[in-house]
Chains A and B, each alone.
Chain A
Amino acid sequence: MIDVGTRPNVIAKNVHKHFGHVEVLKGIDFTVNRGDVVCLLGPSGSGKSTLLRCINHLETITEGSIEVGGEFVGYQRQGTSLSELHPRRVAKQRANIGMVFQQFNLFPHLTVMENLTIAPTMVRDMSAKESVESGNALLERMGLSTKAQEYPGQLSGGQQQRVAIARALMMKPTLMLFDEPTSALDPELVGEVLTAMKELALEGMTMIVVTHEIQFAREVADTVIFMDDGVIVERGEPKSVLGNPKEVRTQAFLSRVRVQMEKEQQSE
């Protein structure tokens, strides 16, 4: 085991990503310390989701490197360059990185409990009994103890997303990635998911969250990173980036979000 306590948990260096001729990430550098919560903000198309997906190698990167817990994700160093790892090795690395998706992506053909236990039993060789026990414990924590035998389609969006968080936590990850976890939810269901995430942050989980929830970023984030057009425009503590942004693009984005929020409040 690598001692992640002595160094930052995530180190991204000069990350570039091309889709064909389009460059969506144009040299991203950042570090995330252990136990920190980083919120990635920015307009859609700014590359923040792509960056998140590069961290657990759901997307390959064209240039640069990303380290999690001291290992390059999806690559290994060969001389001066990095070569892509075999899918089975990548799978081992991903097991330590939890991910929560905008569309939940629960497995519809499995019950809630089976959704939770499939990865620990298959990847970690955990016994069925042990995995059901920890599954029950996590469901209880998420306030979903009665839902274990139901299928995802029978749950509300907010419940599904909390199951998805529990499913990721079953693997005891050292890092959690959230890709717009509340964007697909009805407004009245957003709160329950954000509360679960807040509790996770308080327990000291390292988290990178792509979100449009400014209020959440303000309350929970240690660092806010504002991205636009494939680059990091501004970063820092939430009270400076969100309260007193220096860059014009950040100011424009935040005022757009504010107008949007007021509109929503008026229409309600």
Chain B
Amino acid sequence: MPLRHPWRLSAAGILIVALGGTIWSIAKNPNVEWSIVAHYFFSDLVVNGVLVTLYLTFIAMAIGIVGAVAIAVMRLSENPVLSSIAKFYIWFFRGTPVLIQIIFWGYIGALYPQVKLGIPFTHVTFWSTGSSAIITPMLAAILSLGLNEIAYSGEIIRGGISGVAKGQVEAAHSLGLTPTQTTRKIVLPQAMRIVVPPMGNEVLTMLKETALVSVIAGRDLMTAVQQIYSQNYQVIPLLVVAGIWYLILTSLLSYPQRLLERRYGRSRVSAMGSSGSRRLLLGFTGSKKAALSHD
């Protein structure tokens, strides 16, 4: 006779009732106005916003990851200038709210009204134009999100690289592999296994973070729904539209993450413990458990 868990059962029951009630009250709440949700869900402005949100996510993550590898390598470099610059970069971009960085790039024209191409410290100018002509809201959004992401991903990649055992590098070197070959074939593939799960989180965070660019009219999904509800005052239904879209996108994006985790997790067993004795120990506890359950 298996052990009964009366508290577990009743807690589950209470939660199901509470959850069901909440969903019911939202679904039946006349203020949500599902007909309006349906009406705007596939409207041109919203669908275009979804595409911009996806585009922003991918471009910012691409900048973020490429830059992050550079920052991580700099941070781990023995050159004190390089590692200090990397440390400063990470300190600065992680230490200020991304919302401030977005607005800052959006209003960069107030700081540098003109962009000039010329010889520094002289009056020679080949070409110049107003900053706002170059730094469009879209570019400001890409720059702020991308540069911010470099700092976060950089720390993740650094963690991955330093997480690879020192003996791995020594073994590769002892076989005659050059430092470059060692990094490419031995260190990075093993770092990937450590890097992929938190990187997947970064992508999902980025997708939702793009909503912040609505403050500089970044034309993303959030900007789109704000634009609509500022005209028709249907704030709740349009927030529901945006919320559902974000849920759909994050769910879709977690799928490739799972694939990558499987791809780089192939030899997990060995990452956990390479010594035979530890595996033997696990085997023993396993069999003990099996023996106990027979009683």
> Footprint of B on A, CB under 8 Å?
56, 58, 87-88, 91-92, 94-99, 101, 103-110, 118-119, 122-123, 151-160, 164, 167-168, 171, 177, 184-186, 189
Q: Which 4 residue pairs across A and B have the least CB separation, nearest first?
A: A153-B270, A95-B176, A157-B276, A108-B270
Distance of A219 Cα from B170 Cα, bound (Å): 30
Check if B275 sits within 8 Å of A153, measured CB to CB. no
A154 with B171: in contact, given A109-B189, A160-B276 (CB under 8 Å)? no
Contact with A along B49-61 (1 / 0, CB 8 A): 0000000000000
Check if A108 sits within 8 Å of B274, measured CB to CB. yes
**Chain A residues, CB < 8 A from B172:** 107
Number of A-B contacts (CB under 8 A): 112
**Chain B residues, CB < 8 A from A92:** 176
Check if B280 sits within 8 Å of A103, measured CB to CB. no
Other than the given A56-B174, A101-B174, 6 more pairs (CB < 8 A) read A87-B179, A91-B179, A105-B170, A122-B181, A123-B181, A186-B277
Distance of A177 Cα from B179 Cα, bound (Å): 21
User: Which B-chain residue is minimally distant from A92 (CB atoms)?
Assistant: B176
Min CB–CB distance B15 → chain A (angstroms): 40
**Chain B residues, CB < 8 A from A107:** 168, 171-172, 186, 190
Check if B274 sits within 8 Å of A153, measured CB to CB. yes
Check if B276 sits within 8 Å of A185, measured CB to CB. yes
Check if B193 sits within 8 Å of A91, measured CB to CB. no
**Chain A residues, CB < 8 A from B185:** 118, 122
**Chain A residues, CB < 8 A from B271:** 108, 153
Contact check: which of B165, B175, B266, B276 meets A94 at CB < 8 Å?
Answer: B175
Q: How many residues of B contact A (CB 8 A)?
A: 34
- Within 8 Å of chain A (Cβ to Cβ): is B167? yes
Min CB–CB distance A106 → chain B (angstroms): 7
**Chain A residues, CB < 8 A from B165:** 105
Check if A108 sits within 8 Å of B174, measured CB to CB. no
Check if A58 sits within 8 Å of B269, measured CB to CB. no
User: Which B-chain residue is minimally distant from A154 (CB atoms)?
Assistant: B269
**Chain B residues, CB < 8 A from A151:** 266-267, 269-270
User: Which A-chain residue is minimally distant from B269 (CB atoms)?
Assistant: A153
- Within 8 Å of chain A (Cβ to Cβ): is B178? yes
Q: Which of B253-295 contact A (CB under 8 A)?
A: 264, 266-277, 279-280
Min CB–CB distance B252 → chain A (angstroms): 28
Distance of A253 Cα from B279 Cα, bound (Å): 33
A184 with B275: in contact, given A87-B179, A109-B189, A152-B267 (CB under 8 Å)? yes
**Chain B residues, CB < 8 A from A91:** 173, 176-179
A105 with B171: in contact, given A123-B176, A160-B276, A189-B276 (CB under 8 Å)? yes
Check if A109 sits within 8 Å of B276, measured CB to CB. no
